Chain A
Amino acid sequence: MALDIKKFIGRFVEEAKDHLGRMSSGLSLLEQGAASTEEVNSLFRSAHTLKGSSRMLRLEPITQLAHSLEDLLSALREQQVQVNHAVMDALYQGVDALSDQVEQLIQQGQVAELSTTQSQLCQRLSGLAEGKEVLADTLASSAAIESEQPPRGPDTEVERSTPSLSTSDTVRIKLTKLDELIKLMGELISSHASMRDMAATAQRIEKQLQQQVEGELPLAMRQFSRDMRDIVLLQDNLTQELHDKALQLRMLPMAIVLDPAARLVRDMARTLGKQVECRVYGSEIELDRQMIDQLADPVIHLLRNALDHGIETPEVRQKAGKPAQGLLQIRARQDAGWVVVDIRDDGAGLSVDAIREKALKKGVFSGAVLEEMSDQQITDLIFMPGFSTSAIITEVSGRGVGMDVVKRSIVDELQGVISIQTSPGEGTCFTLRLPLSLAIMRVLLIRAGAQVLGFTAQYVSELLSVAPTALIRVADRNAVIIRNEFVPVIKLAELLHLPQETAPKKTLSRDAKNLLLLVIRVHTEKLAVQIDELLDERDLVIKQLPEHLRSNQLISGMVTTGQNQLVNLIHVPYVLDMARKTRQSTSTVVSSEYAKPKQRILVVDDSLNTREIERDVLEAWGYHVTLAEHGADGLQKALAEDFDAVLTDVEMPIMDGFTLTARLRENDNYRNKPIIIITSREKDSDRRRGIEVGADAYIVKGSFDQTSLVDTLKVLLD
């Protein structure tokens, strides 16, 4: 076990040095009064991360120091404490003490107990956070005593263990150096393309010489051109292999993050008085080093949350009829060019009501807005900064930093996707979807208007070629039906305000009439963007935009294609946001025209896109719409409130639409209310079954147009 830890200490040291460096520069900004809230935040997060990762390695003294620093920084962040001399002094001392501890760790492979000065410093930091001033001179005097004592006997330890940080079979390289190497490889490959051109030229000259000149010259040229071709081919292979190898240098197994996590879980569970078993699957999967580094923090945060808020104490669990021991599963698996990590607990689950209440109390949204949100949207609120539902602040979590850090790292820094699934009483599952590497990704190159753009494959769901007639017009915009789901359609060039082509190219006549749709996806949300041409698909090296341009969220990076052309990579989550905003602005305008008392409709469908489109249509016609995600959710909502009509899909998880209809008919309140089934199941037997269970109307999505839905509704409601 002891050796086991040492493997990770080197990594911790690097990380700690990183954070300490960042903290000291942050502190000097703070001292000059030049620190923005974001910088105070980042100081706080550094302390928070150090606390977390040191706890994972049982570096108790570092944990204590970091925790005390975090206390004071948290008070600064909340502006309960103002920056003054005493505060700055304590902060600097705290960072210095941390550096000392880390230094100690480097030299001796372990940390020393907190010295008296250091534990006093901890008290002082926490004291300052509560607004108490601790007299500095008492500390100074004790420091004098302290320095007389020899440092705690390292001699016994050093003899026993060989230096633990010198792992013999690995070399630590700065990532920037590796990146330079990879950049050079990229350049080499693109310059090699011109070598190929030269070989072709040589061949041409050879042929011309043969026709025009007699003698030895053509022969010599022939030999030259042949040699040239051979060597170009050889180099082709070599450079390609070199490039692949260079990229592989960056890959590390996920065990580096996941294995210590299991221990962390056991330790934390013990402090919390809970019984938890932690199972890790798939830790052999390799990820880019940069991803691994940045993955540690969010994973620790998620585990900590699962332990603290998710899994209940043994007594509570037994009362709920669950085994006393909780189960925490970390499951990594590969899914095409992705790594998916599920962190699943079997605890209490997230309480949607508690989150809603909290959002209301914090004044993040008004009550009316919250009422409109789906459960998924509500649970997503926990990713907002400063949003913590835990009533008490514990040592383990509950300060409301965790989740916004998690989301920021996963979505913004790692280009991944995070989603939550939770059901009350059964547990919560966080799913992280991550690209294998940030340096190289599968990219789809397309043309929209006059612009060539790239989409990273993780966001591409599918490509469709459809006839213009396949588009349906709902609530003033287009949508397309893809397998039982409405997906909104939008012209990419218009959405992004791209320059239009000056002279449209002649496309192949066979495709001329069809529209090319690229369906992009961020977890459940889909959008079909209309593009003009599909150009290429390949693995490309991603380059970052210069720092001063990164505020542009639309572009996540650039790639170089042949002939040194630069192509913009589109950040899909932002495009979805943009599309949603344009949509909302139109739909609210329409609905405001209708001022008559609204009839209430319940829409039940498991597809987010379909739900929203149906809602938009109905709201545009002046109905008040409530959404439900599946049959059971729909049933619950229908029984809780009084609706004038229910619209339901058939195929849904947990409870299907037929069952929902049948169950609603059993209820007095819904015996005579209109229930409409909207589905892609066209078979007569289904239709008959729909009528048998008591539906008033059966609309097939393929033949769906908004007027037929609205007309049907009107007929049924009047």
Chain B
Amino acid sequence: MSESQLDQLLAQQHNNEQAIIDVDEPVIKLVIFSLGEYYFAFPGLAIKEVLPGDEAVFFVPGMPASVEGVINLRGDIESVIRLHALLQLPSADEKNALPLTSILLARGTAMHSGLRVDRLLDVVDIVESQIQPPPDALPEYLRSYVTGLLDFTGLAVSVLDIDAVFAAWQKGQG
């Protein structure tokens, strides 16, 4: 078999492979959690790690109210932010509910931080088509963060964009 024949065969094979149609719908991993009485989700790519809610958080004086403090993550310092105010949710400051909460370590393009959530529900793979575009009736203050809506076992979950959330938080500080 000459080399050119081999090339031809290889090229053919390559084309055949391309011809196979992917029948699986694209899926996206979502981290679903609750804040107050509402349910939200971040794309799995934005969340690096989930820490238990009783992780020691150290208070930092002079910080805005939304900064709960900082944690020592294997020698690195990460902030812990509460999103309640940003999303205009009542702040649940019952300390005895702390073990139920979690800290999501979120990484956006420009900043990373821990986020305190009231309860982590699940980490699931969701078919992308299941996510609906955000409705027009969405309140103004949520519109810039919510990229879609999802029905998750009967719960209405808003999918959030981590960069938009961080950008809004930083703007609120400046």
Minimum CB distance partner of A555 in chain B: B60
In the complex, whether A551 has a CB less than 8 A from a CB of chain B is: yes
Q: Is the CB of A566 within 8 A of B174?
A: no
Q: Is the CB of A187 within 8 A of B60?
A: no
Determine the distance from Cα of A20 to Cα of B89 in the docked complex, in whole angstroms: 46
**Contacts A546-B112, A546-B113, A551-B174 known; A184 to B60 CB distance under 8 Å?**
no
0 or 1 for each of B108-139: is its CB under 8 Å from A? (1 = yes): 00011100000000000000000000000000
**Contacts A184-B75, A544-B77, A560-B72 known; A498 to B61 CB distance under 8 Å?**
yes
**Contacts A558-B70, A566-B72, A566-B77 known; A549 to B63 CB distance under 8 Å?**
yes
In the complex, whether A425 has a CB less than 8 A from a CB of chain B is: no
Shortest beta-carbon contacts, A-B, top 8? A554-B62, A566-B58, A187-B75, A183-B75, A496-B61, A548-B111, A546-B79, A552-B62
In the complex, whether B142 has a CB less than 8 A from a CB of chain A is: no
Q: Is the CB of B77 within 8 A of A558?
A: yes
On chain B, the residues within 8 Å of A554 by CB distance are 61-62
- Of residues 568 through 591 on chain A, the ones whose CB sits less than 8 Å from some CB of chain B are 568
Determine the distance from Cα of A387 to Cα of B120 in the docked complex, in whole angstroms: 54
On chain A, the residues within 8 Å of B113 by CB distance are 546, 548
In the complex, whether A79 has a CB less than 8 A from a CB of chain B is: no
Q: Is the CB of B59 within 8 A of A451?
A: yes
In the complex, whether A319 has a CB less than 8 A from a CB of chain B is: no
In the complex, whether B173 has a CB less than 8 A from a CB of chain A is: yes
Minimum CB distance partner of B69 in chain A: A566
0 or 1 for each of A524-560: is its CB under 8 Å from B? (1 = yes): 0000000000000000000111111101111100101
Minimum CB distance partner of B62 in chain A: A554
| Chain A residues near B (Cβ < 8 Å) | 183-184, 186-187, 451, 453, 496-499, 543-549, 551-555, 558, 560, 564-568
In the complex, whether B14 has a CB less than 8 A from a CB of chain A is: no
In the complex, whether B78 has a CB less than 8 A from a CB of chain A is: yes
Determine the distance from Cα of A564 to Cα of B174 in the docked complex, in whole angstroms: 31
On chain A, the residues within 8 Å of B78 by CB distance are 546
Minimum CB distance partner of B114 in chain A: A546
| Chain B residues near A (Cβ < 8 Å) | 56, 58-63, 67, 70-72, 74-79, 111-113, 166, 170, 173-174
Determine the distance from Cα of A544 to Cα of B79 in the docked complex, in whole angstroms: 11
User: Of B61, B67, B70, which is within 8 A of A497 by CB?
Assistant: B61
B46 CB to nearest A CB, Å? 16
Most buried by A among B62, B71, B166, B173: B62
On chain A, the residues within 8 Å of B75 by CB distance are 183-184, 186-187, 543, 560
On chain B, the residues within 8 Å of A567 by CB distance are 58
Minimum CB distance partner of B71 in chain A: A566
Determine the distance from Cα of A565 to Cα of B74 in the docked complex, in whole angstroms: 12
Determine the distance from Cα of A177 to Cα of B120 in the docked complex, in whole angstroms: 35
Interface contact tally, CB-CB below 8 A: 71
Main secondary structure of the interface of B (DSSP, over half): mixed
Determine the distance from Cα of A528 to Cα of B41 in the docked complex, in whole angstroms: 50
User: Of B62, B71, B77, B111, which is within 8 A of A496 by CB?
Assistant: B62
Determine the distance from Cα of A187 to Cα of B112 in the docked complex, in whole angstroms: 22
A444 CB to nearest B CB, Å? 17
Main secondary structure of the interface of A (DSSP, over half): mixed
Q: Is the CB of A566 within 8 A of B111?
A: no
A553 CB to nearest B CB, Å? 8
Determine the distance from Cα of A333 to Cα of B63 in the docked complex, in whole angstroms: 38
Q: Is the CB of A555 within 8 A of B58?
A: no
Most buried by A among B61, B63, B75: B61
Q: Is the CB of B170 within 8 A of A548?
A: yes
User: Of A184, A544, A568, which is within 8 A of B61 by CB?
Assistant: A568
**Contacts A183-B75, A546-B77, A566-B70 known; A551 to B173 CB distance under 8 Å?**
yes
Minimum CB distance partner of A498 in chain B: B61
Minimum CB distance partner of B59 in chain A: A451
Determine the distance from Cα of A545 to Cα of B77 in the docked complex, in whole angstroms: 6
Q: Is the CB of A555 within 8 A of B62?
A: yes
User: Of A451, A552, A566, which is within 8 A of B63 by CB?
Assistant: A552
Determine the distance from Cα of A502 to Cα of B56 in the docked complex, in whole angstroms: 19
Q: Is the CB of B70 within 8 A of A545?
A: yes
A546-B79, A549-B63 are known; give 10 further A-B pairs, CB within 8 A.
Answer: A186-B75, A187-B75, A543-B75, A547-B111, A548-B170, A554-B62, A555-B61, A564-B72, A565-B72, A566-B70
On chain B, the residues within 8 Å of A546 by CB distance are 70, 77-79, 111-113
Minimum CB distance partner of A493 in chain B: B61
Q: Is the CB of B79 within 8 A of A568?
A: no
On chain B, the residues within 8 Å of A558 by CB distance are 58, 70, 77
Query: Can you list 10 pairs linking A and B with CB atoms under 8 Å apart?
Result: A453-B61, A496-B62, A543-B75, A545-B70, A546-B70, A546-B78, A546-B111, A546-B112, A548-B113, A548-B170
On chain B, the residues within 8 Å of A553 by CB distance are 62
User: Of A544, A548, A552, which is within 8 A of B60 by CB?
Assistant: A552
Determine the distance from Cα of A247 to Cα of B174 in the docked complex, in whole angstroms: 36
Determine the distance from Cα of A545 to Cα of B111 in the docked complex, in whole angstroms: 12
On chain A, the residues within 8 Å of B71 by CB distance are 566
Determine the distance from Cα of A368 to Cα of B67 in the docked complex, in whole angstroms: 41
Determine the distance from Cα of A560 to Cα of B77 in the docked complex, in whole angstroms: 10
On chain A, the residues within 8 Å of B61 by CB distance are 451, 453, 496-498, 554-555, 568
Minimum CB distance partner of A545 in chain B: B77
Minimum CB distance partner of B58 in chain A: A566
Minimum CB distance partner of A496 in chain B: B61
Minimum CB distance partner of A183 in chain B: B75
Q: Is the CB of B77 within 8 A of A543?
A: yes
Q: Is the CB of A549 within 8 A of B67?
A: yes
User: Of B60, B76, B166, B170, which is within 8 A of A568 by CB?
Assistant: B60
Most buried by B among A499, A553, A564: A564
Most buried by B among A187, A453, A558, A566: A566
Q: Is the CB of A549 within 8 A of B79?
A: yes
